[in-house]
Amino acid sequence: MLASPTANATEVPAPISDPAQARALAAKVGDDRTGGVYYGDAGQLVVAVTDEATARAVRAEGGVAEIVKYSTAALTSVHATLDQRIAEADPIPNTSWGVDPSTNQVTVEIFDGVSAADEKRLMDLVAGYGDAVRVEKLTGTIRPTAYESIGGIGIVSKEGGSGCTLGFNVRDSSGQKYFVTAGHCADTSADLWWNRENGNHYLGKRIWFDYGGIDKDYAVMDYRNDEIVAYGAVRAAGTEYEITDSRYPNAGESAKRAGAVSSDLVGEVLSPSETVTYSDGTVLKNMIETSHCALPGDSGGPLWTGTQALGITSATTTPSSASCNSAQSQYRTYFQPVHWVLAHHGLSAF
């Protein structure tokens, strides 16, 4: 006959497969005797511990234990020091750090764009922690994952109509952000809710516009989407140009123009105050005339020089079938002075 199991036999607990249960076990043991929880190479949950006695206690409750050198408390202290001495005192863009239980270290990551001086400052700080810190150098820069909005990108109305170009991002005294484009793009009785053309992501709503008034061909849109990050710059031919302010142009100065369809980075202000009659009979005064080319879809796009915003693309003599590039100067393009728009509505470029 087979003997039945004795009543006092030790029962083996079921292995822990719930991360919350593993974290609760680590918390029960305490940060001074554990090094965190992670998934091992075989896919099992591992509770890192600092001594054999703690390892036996973890195994007795169904946990997989691994003995490590540093406790969670020690590594968290290193992390906190980096926060206080770098992130909160003098932050270094394109860096990150955090506790990695799987390696029992604080991992410091340095991405592109970190200066030699900043890298030395960071390395000098972590050097005293020995193998408790691992430094990795990685490519790329750390940018928000929110959708960006920048001068020169294509924009479209949710209510239909032709595509246009975002001119400049601007803001009021309270920091509320807006963008400006051509008024004829928004010349309708509808409120015109606008999206980015690329990806069709919602930007915001038209709040002010005019087309056909004296020196007026502009629209101001209020950003209404928290997932959009508006940058104080314009993009042309793959390059970004910072914008810090606006002003009226001067005759004879060189300027750049950008648009969703074409860009012309070599041009001259021929007249800072031109009276123009468009082919539809619209008369506009005090417009900027330049030697740039432009194409349909470029309307609303930025005209700038250096870091100064000058104008919003309104009209051009460039045939729609023509090529448009910086080697041409036979065409004429007209712009709404953006400084007038911003002054009129209490806004500023940034």
Q: Which residues contact 50 (CB under 8 A, 6 or more apart)?
A: 32, 33, 34, 35, 67, 68, 69, 70, 71
Which residue among the candidates 149, 262, 263, 299 is catalytic per the annotation?
A: 299
The question of whether 299 is a catalytic residue gets the answer: yes
The question of whether 339 is a catalytic residue gets the answer: no
Which residue among the candidates 71, 118, 184, 263 is catalytic per the annotation?
A: 184
Give helix then strand counts, H and E, for the chain: 5, 24
> How far is residue 250 CA from its own chain's centroid?
33
| Intra-chain end-to-end CA distance of the chain, in Å | 90
Quote the strand ranges of 146-238, DSSP E. 147-151, 154-157, 164-165, 168-171, 177-181, 193-196, 202-211, 217-223, 228-236
Distances (CA, A) of 279 to 135, 276, 284, 315, 316: 64, 10, 12, 10, 11
Which residue among the candidates 210, 215, 217, 264 is catalytic per the annotation?
A: 217
Query: Look-up: residue for tokens 């860009």?
Result: 263
Task: Give the Cα separation of 348 and 341 in Å (integer).
Answer: 9
Any idea which residues carry the catalytic annotation? 184, 217, 299
